[in-house]
Every structure is written in C-alpha cells, then in structure tokens.
Structure 1
Amino acid sequence: MTAADAPPVVLVHGTRFSAGQWSPQLAALQKDFRVAAVDLPGHGARSAEPWSLDAASEIIAAAVDSLDRGPALVVGHSLGGYASLEFARRFPERLRGLVLAGASASTRGPWATPYRWVTGLVPRVPADRLARWNDRLLRRLYPPEVVEATIRSGYAFHTLPAAWGEVLGRFDAGAMRHVTAPVLILNGEKDPVFRSGESDFARAHPHARVELIPRAGHLANFDDPAAFTDAVRRFARELPASCG
C-alpha cells in the first residue's frame, strides 16, 4: 500500500473517556496514516453537549471529512464501537473499514440488566469521588504514557446514563447488516462480557474476522498498546483501495 492508498483513521473512545484514550495509538499511527480522535457528545471538549447517537454519528462523519482523504477506517471502542455501528448505518459512503473493539456483545435482553443498574447507580455517587477512583485505578494498572492524557481530559460520568440508556436495547449482531465495509472485531482475550457475541457478530457479516489480544481485558488498547496498534495497522493495510 502506498501513502496515497492509506486510509485515514478515525478513533472513537469508550464510556466516560475522551479522545485522550487514544494517545498511544495516535503517536504510533500518525507515522503511516492521517489520524483523528474525536470527543463524543458529552465527553472531553464536548462535555456540555447533550448525548445522542445521531450527534455521535455526525461527529464521526465530520472527523472523516476533516481528514480529506475519502472514506475512513473507523476504530470504535466500547460505547464508541456502538456509536461507530450507528455511523456505519447512517453514512456508509464514508466508511472504508470498521474496527469494533470491546463492542461485540448484544445490548438487548438479559445481558443489559446489570448495565441498566449501573447507569442508575452512577448519578448517585459524586462525580469527584468517581474521578478519584478512576485516577487511582488507571495509575495503578498502567504507565503514565498510556493513561495521563485520559486522566487530564477528565471523565464524562454525567453522560453515562443517557449514552447507555440509548445504546441498551438497540444493538445486536443484526446491526452488522448495515456495515458495507470490511470489519475487524478486535477484543481483549480476557474481556468475556464485551466479546460475548463476537462469533455472532462475525457470522453476520461476509467480510468480518475476529482477532484477540492475548492477556488483555476490556481496555485492550491500554493493556497492550503495541499489539492493539499493530492489529489496526495491519487491518488498515489490507483494506481495498477507496473508490471515492
């Protein structure tokens, strides 16, 4: 693949985080691709904006357009993965490939019950206390170069009930029928909840495959940044040339 053929890459963060989640991947991927990381509504620099999947899709579409290289490879983690599925449905012409990371579980049925409970519980805990817990957890588990950008950007706990309230009950493997581009389902090996439907998601798409990052959990891009980045890079290089 030549530099002219390389797809632009848009990175979409997960629950409560922001574009800062992708600092390890941004630094590595910028050597080979034009890359942008977005803040979803209610997160990061968009903290004051109300959440909606429609608005999230439009933010992703605007990021694709800003890179000015045609359809993009969109990489979505967790909440960002489901937002990316909605983007794929609404803007198929802007999608060259999709990486679903920690977002291949059905959000319908019994699986959703504990998450509905969490979305009800979070508003009852003061945001500053939740932030301190998250800061301590991230700093205990990961080196500063991996998580400090995330910590500096703060957390969107206030948006969590609205975001998951819209996602829960909405997505299952059937959402893959709206994705016209190739798909990489990229999960941490030790993320049993969010990879629980990976086989169903893969079977629902003619050009999807599953790849696991060994010993990684739900935050696979933090657990093994190099392996996560390498998987995205390899998938990007395999994508067919854009016709746009």
Structure 2
Amino acid sequence: MTATDAPPIVLVHGTRFSAGQWSPQLAALQADFPVAAVDLPGHGTRSAQPWSLNAATEIIASAVDSLDRGPALVVGHSLGGYASLEFARRCPEQLRGLVLTGASASTCGPWATPYRWVAGLIPRIPADRLARWNDRLLRRLYPPEVVEATIRSGYAFHTVSAAWGEVLGRFDAGAMRHVAAPVLILNGEKDTVFRSGEIDFVRAHPNARVELIPRAGHLANFDDPDAFTEAVRRFARHLSVRS
C-alpha cells in the first residue's frame, strides 16, 4: 500500500466522550493513513452546539473533506456508530468503508427500553458527580496513556438525552441496506448488549463481516488498543486492495 493508496480514516466517538477517545488509535494510525477524529455536536470542543443527527452528519462530512483524499473509512463507536450509519445513508459518495463498533444493536422496539431509562436518569444526577465517577472508573480500568485525553476533554452528559432521544427508534439492521461501502462490525467479545443484533446487521448487507476483540467489552478500543487498531488497519488495507 502506497501513501496515495491509503484511505483516509475518520474516527467518530461514542456517548459522552469526544475525539480524545481515539488518542491511542490516532497515534498508531497516523504514520500510515490520513486520519482525523471529530467532536460530535454537544461534545468536546462543540459542547455548546445543540445535538442533531443532521449536524453530526455534516461534521463527519467536513472531516472527510478536510483530509482531501476522497471517500473515507469512517469508524464509529456506539452513538458515533449510529451517526456514521446516518452519514453513510446521506453521503454515500464520501464513504469508502464503514467500521461499526459497539453499534450493532437495534435501537427500535423493546431493545430501546434500557437506553430510554438511562437517558432519562442521567439528567437527574449532577454533571460534576457523573464526571468524578467516570474519571475514577476510567483510571481504575485503563492506563493513563489510553484514557487521559478522554478525561481532559470532559464529558457531554448534558447531550445524552437529546442524542439518544433522536437515535432511539431510528436504527435497526435495515439501516445497513443504505450503506453502499464494505462494512466491518468490530465488537468487543463481552459487549453482549451492543452485539445483540450483529448477525442481523451482517445479513442485511452484501459485503459485511464481524470481527471480535477477545475479552473486550463495549470500550473495545480502550480494552485492547493494539488489537482494535490492527483490526482497523487490516480493514483499511483491504479497502486499498479493492480499489
């Protein structure tokens, strides 16, 4: 793979986090690929911007354009995965490939009940208390080089209800039919909730496959940064060969 063949990569973070979530992957991928991580509306540097899927799609599209290398491989985690599915539907000409991680569960019907409960609970807890809990949890589970960028960027608890309020009821395996590019569903082996629909998601797309990160949970890119990054790298190289 030459520098001109390497697909650009855009990384889209999950619920409450920011572009800082991808610091391990940015450091590892930028030698081989043009790569950017975005802040979704209401998150990180865009904390004051109201959430909407329209705005999220525009942000991803702008990041693809900023890399100036044509269609991109978009990697979306959790909330960012569903935003990436919306981007794939609206901007197919800008998508070279899609990695969904922690985002292969239906957000429709009975599956949405736990998400609605969490989205309703979070606004009732002071944001500073939630931030302290998150800081302690991340520092207990992961080494500093993996999570400090996320902790420094803060958390978007004020956006959780609006974001999931729009996502809930909107996405199921049928969303895969609107994705024109190849898809890798990259899940943590132990992420049973957000893996729940992965077989249906794969069956709904003619060029999709599942890869699991052993012993990893929902935050697979934190649980095993090297394995996660290598899976993205392999998929990117596969896209380069296909083109």
Alignment TM class, shorter chain as reference: over 0.9
Does the alignment pair 1:19 with 2:24?
no
Deviation at 1:169, TM superposition (A): 0.4
Cα pair 1:96 1:242 within 8 Å, conserved: no
| Cα RMSD after superposing both structures | 0.9
Calculate the TM-score normalised by the size of structure 2. 0.99
Q: Counterparts of 1:1-244 in structure 2 under 5 Å?
A: 1-240=1-240
Deviation string 1:22-78 (CA, Å, 9 cap, x unpaired) is 000000000100000000000000000000001000000000000000000000000
Deviation at 1:242, TM superposition (A): 8.5
SS at match of 2:206: coil
Cα pair 1:101 1:187 within 8 Å, conserved: yes
In 2: Cα distance, 1:31 partner to 1:195 partner: 31
SS at match of 1:98: strand
In 2: Cα distance, 1:115 partner to 1:184 partner: 24
Aligned length, in residue pairs: 243
Cα pair 2:6 2:240 within 8 Å, conserved: no
In 1: Cα distance, 2:197 partner to 2:113 partner: 16
Deviation string 1:145-186 (CA, Å, 9 cap, x unpaired) is 000000000000000000000000000000001100000000
Q: Which runs of 4+ in 1 moved over 6 A?
A: none
Deviation at 1:241, TM superposition (A): 6.2
Identity of aligned residues (%): 88
In 1: Cα distance, 2:31 partner to 2:228 partner: 16
SS at match of 1:69: coil
SS at match of 1:97: strand
In 2: Cα distance, 1:5 partner to 1:207 partner: 21
Deviation at 1:114, TM superposition (A): 1.1
Q: Which runs of 5+ in 2 are unaligned?
A: none
Cα pair 1:5 1:242 within 8 Å, conserved: no
Cα pair 2:18 2:155 within 8 Å, conserved: yes
Q: Which runs of 5+ in 1 are unaligned?
A: none
In 1: Cα distance, 2:91 partner to 2:242 partner: 15
Calculate the TM-score normalised by the size of structure 1. 0.98
Deviation at 1:240, TM superposition (A): 4.8
In 2: Cα distance, 1:109 partner to 1:214 partner: 29
Deviation at 1:79, TM superposition (A): 0.2
Opposite residue 158 of structure 1, the aligned amino acid is: H
SS at match of 1:239: helix
Cα pair 2:7 2:240 within 8 Å, conserved: no
Cα pair 1:70 1:242 within 8 Å, conserved: no
